Amino acid sequence: MAEEQTPLTVALSQLKLASKKLELDDGLQKMLSHPKRSITVSMDIRMDNGSVGVYNGIRVQHWDARGPFKGGIRFYPGITIDEVTALAMLMTWKCAIVDIPFGGAKGGVCVDSKKLSNTELERLTRRYVSLIVDYLGPQRDIPAPDLYTDAQTMAWIMDTYSQLKGYRIPESATGKPVEIGGSWGRTEATGRGVIHCIKQAAENNGLKLRGAKVAIQGFGNVGFHAALAAQEIGCKIIAISDSTGGVYCEGGLNPNSLLAHKEQTKSVQNFEGCKDISNEELLELPCDILIPAALENQITSKNADKIQAKMVAEAANGPTTPEADRVLYEKDVCLIPDILANSGGVTVSYFEWVQNLTREQWPLELVNQKLEAKMTKAFNEVEAIVSIEESDMRTGALMLGVGRVANAIRTLGLWP
Ligand code: NAD
């Protein structure tokens, strides 16, 4: 397979592989290859200086056989419908793997959010929702945060949806601030979920986690909370990076102090007691566990053979190309795939939706207990397939996810 593949060709070849292993008929595979709905919109907003800004937005709804569409919205320049479609497809499998009653969707707005003020971002978010409002809703499609969107973005989304419908509907978006119906534990759920998977994998692989050296690429929501959760179980965080570069400290660094430094200086670099390194260097460091928690296509055929980690936990979506996957598998690196490793976020999003629908608020301990139970069960179900099929974990996870969605479609039948 050529490295120039798009995220969509990769997602489609993954579906093809899983379909073949599951012996799905051609019709089902064809159905799952296409999203049910793709929406593109153009948002015109008033900029703070009085000019007009025009931005493109996308929402792709892949499949909803197991429940309403669910998926994050990312604000990122250069986002394409191809990429959003691939991510929507991954969401369908992910929700099925952790066995929550949702389908898969994804959204994107082509914007460099760092260049917009808060008020401009608010107007952009609200306009985006107003243009796709008929296709959203707690029983239709429920957005969540992703790259460069956060709890505040979800508050604007939920408020706009509620304003347009005429009454408060907290269950229309997840990942909201707690004071307006967010769930305790949602912000940290993706990062914590990654560490639950690492704990299971370490047990199976005889890797000692106390003192294990961890390198993390990306220091946003997922990277920061993965770092905290890793530290909680005794791992040593030796390196962290963000879009400006990385820092390395053999003796281990404190994520909370690094966050305070980043908030002050806008970068993780120049952190006291650490050596500045590049993002490329971070990936190739001698360490036990590597957690890519930033962007797609970071581990490729160009650097896969230089990866020294014993375990790679994909916190980001699609950080490893198919070629790199093969190289890591041959090197006996334990790779926990994105559709399993980062499913903690959507799992607690589901808990948030349930709490909103029942007008309840669960305590943090209960949310964390339920998250761990869901992640552990999903991990063991994937491992069971891996040992029967003698496959890598990505194939095992895909077989579990695609298989569950295919079963739902078969049971529902085709209408009309
Ligand atoms: P975020 O916007 O909070 O953080 C992104 C981080 O990546 C920032 O620290 C940024 O500086 C860094 N980054 C950007 N470009 C980089 C580069 N070239 N090299 C190194 N770092 C770079 O986003 P997030 O919510 O933490 O999401 C990170 C990844 O996790 C994405 O792939 C996202 O799709 C995935 N994910 C997020 C969630 C969630 O709940 N937020 C759930 C599942 C998957």
Q: How far is the CA of 387 from the centre of ligand 1 (A)?
A: 31
Q: How far is the CA of 263 from the centre of ligand 1 (A)?
A: 16
294 ligand 1 Cβ < 6 A: yes
Q: What percentage of residues in the chain have a pLDDT greater than 90?
A: 98
Q: Whose CA is nearest to atom 31 of ligand 1?
A: 316
State mean pLDDT over 106-129. 98
| Whole-number pLDDT of residue 2 | 47
Task: Indicate which atom in ligand 1 lies nearest the CA of residue 222.
Answer: 26
**pLDDT (tens digit, 9 = 90+) per residue, 233-249?**
999 999 999 999 999 99
Q: What is the C-alpha separation between 25 and 279, in angstroms, rounded?
A: 43
Residue 132 scores a pLDDT above 70 = yes
Residue 221 scores a pLDDT above 70 = yes
104-109: strand order across its sheet? 37-46, 52-63, 104-109, 69-75, 141-145
Residue 163 scores a pLDDT above 90 = yes
Q: Is 220 exposed, middle or buried (0-12, 13-18, 19+ CB in 10 A)?
A: middle
Q: How far is the CA of 226 from the centre of ligand 1 (A)?
A: 12
- What confidence tier does 1 reach under pLDDT thresholds 50, 70, 90? very low
State mean pLDDT over 342-369. 98
**pLDDT (tens digit, 9 = 90+) per residue, 82-111?**
999 999 999 999 999 999 999 999 999 999
**pLDDT (tens digit, 9 = 90+) per residue, 281-329?**
999 999 999 999 999 999 999 999 999 999 999 999 999 999 999 999 9
- Model confidence pTM above 0.85: yes
Residue 3 scores a pLDDT above 60 = no
Pocket test for ligand 1, best of 87, 154, 243, 284 (most atoms within 8 A of CB): 243
Q: How far is the CA of 246 from the centre of ligand 1 (A)?
A: 14
Residue 386 scores a pLDDT above 90 = yes
Pairing type for strands 289-292 and 311-313 reads parallel
Which amino acids are annotated catalytic?
A: 106
Question: Is there a contact between 293 and 226 (Cβ–Cβ < 8 Å)?
Answer: yes
| Whole-number pLDDT of residue 4 | 64
Task: Indicate which atom in ligand 1 lies nearest the CA of residue 246.
Answer: 20
- Tell me the pLDDT of the chain averaged across its residues: 97
